[in-house]
Amino acid sequence: MDISSQKSKTVDELPVREFDWIITLCGHANENCPYFPGKTVHHGFDDPPQCASEAKNEEEKLIPYRRVRDEIRDFVAALPDSL
């Protein structure tokens, strides 16, 4: 699935203001997101740029990105059963 044209959105850019669930995926979001009434799930993942900051080459830099990508994929796949 090509998501290269996708971008992050602010809450103000979202078309709806009422949500069934709020799901945050990083420590920064858990600490800094605005309050939303309702059901909230937080799962912090490592920050790939921070994890890759001391990598010695490009291949080493990709390792944390791939790991976190796979962790998020597994987390999202399990969401329906956990909500």
pLDDT per residue rounded down to tens, the chain (83 residues) = 788 899 888 878 888 778 888 888 876 766 777 777 778 888 889 999 999 999 999 999 999 999 999 999 999 999 999 88
pLDDT of residue 56: 95
pLDDT of residue 76: 93
Please name the residues in contact with 40: beta carbons below 8 A apart, sequence gap of 6 or more: 21, 22, 23, 24
Structure tokens at 35: 């309050």
Alpha carbon distances (Å) from 52 to 12, 40, 64: 31, 29, 6
pLDDT of residue 30: 65
- The residue ranges of every structural domain in the chain are 20-82
